[in-house]
Structure 1
């Protein structure tokens, strides 16, 4: 009897092993910062007359994703706030001061997803905790899959873009920039390499 139970267990294990590769499991991807195939950009209105554009030059992160089970996806990002670059040295110095990001005290901004919900193969929303200047808020914003597939170097890649608008005072940034400049728009473009 024990031999029959053991044989059945071995057979079941073999069957599971044969079926397991077909089960959708999220793959881990590393954001391709080394190849500069990702960006964290921002824009904010200047006096309501034009857009001030900038970016963060140093960041890192990763995500998990499977096209057969996209709602199981997760993403995490870490941004070096001192890498802010608006193409104007004096302005950057002010934006990095305690009037704005206070990068000496808060050198990192982070995002950790809680959930992702796709409405079709390419479009969805992500909800997660964004921490900036020591303040953590739960935010939700739309994401779009740009594409996925093999690369010329034997790897496999997938890319997404997402945009959100952040209210400055929510993160302790109270410097008055005028009524047209209460929010900053953030754009995240990521291309990940499957690990």
Structure 2
């Protein structure tokens, strides 16, 4: 009788719909990236990334609109593969990392679209200024990993004007927009 009750309880638990789960973004394993590009005078693209950031998200495949994400970016970790340029980007002309050592993003709403795509609305704070932005995102996949954990991965992109975040250094009209790309892989907690 005990085996029948245990088997029934186990079957009922397996049949329950998936619930929201909390994830920590896997930056230790370098499975997450925050990259950017900006036009260099209209002649080429300058690419870079932030090497240090952290974050977490809550994800529910059955009720996507209840999902959310929070990111904290170490602005001093900017890396454009050029030491002198990175020093200038950390200066008050651009990120002013001494006064604003972190940039943050906190989602406020998610609007589901077709084919695992969604618009992620949120508050982005950079250079001490907060603005609403929208990240066009998509779920890349989810499932068990080889180490017995469970992961979910997403990618997204957005753009913004430098002047919207108080960055007024004149790079010319072709270099006023930053394109930001994010790839996050989270480990379920």
**Equivalent residue for 2:4?**
none
Residue number among 180, 185, 189 corresponding to 1:186 in the alignment: 180
Residue number among 95, 106, 113 corresponding to 1:119 in the alignment: 113
Between the aligned partners of 2:135 and 2:61, the Cα distance in structure 1 is: 20
**Equivalent residue for 1:176?**
170
* Residue 23 (structure 1) shift: 4.6
Q: Which has the larger radius of gyration?
A: 1
2:59 matched to 1:65? yes
Matched ranges for 1:93-132 at <5 A: 93-132=87-126
**Equivalent residue for 2:3?**
none
Residue number among 104, 127, 132 corresponding to 1:138 in the alignment: 132
Unaligned stretches of 5+ residues in structure 1: 1-17
**Equivalent residue for 1:149?**
143
**Equivalent residue for 1:32?**
26
Unaligned stretches of 5+ residues in structure 2: 1-11
* Residue 25 (structure 1) shift: 2.3
**Equivalent residue for 1:85?**
79
Deviation sequence 1:117-138 (CA, Å, 0-9, x none): 1113510100000000110001
SS at match of 1:104: coil
SS at match of 1:142: strand
* Residue 186 (structure 1) shift: 0.5
Which stretch of the first structure deviates more once superposed, 172-181 or 21-30?
A: 21-30
Between the aligned partners of 2:114 and 2:22, the Cα distance in structure 1 is: 21
Between the aligned partners of 2:177 and 2:36, the Cα distance in structure 1 is: 10
RMSD over aligned Cα, in angstroms? 1.6
* Contact 1:67 1:121 (8 Å CA) reproduced: no
Between the aligned partners of 2:26 and 2:127, the Cα distance in structure 1 is: 26
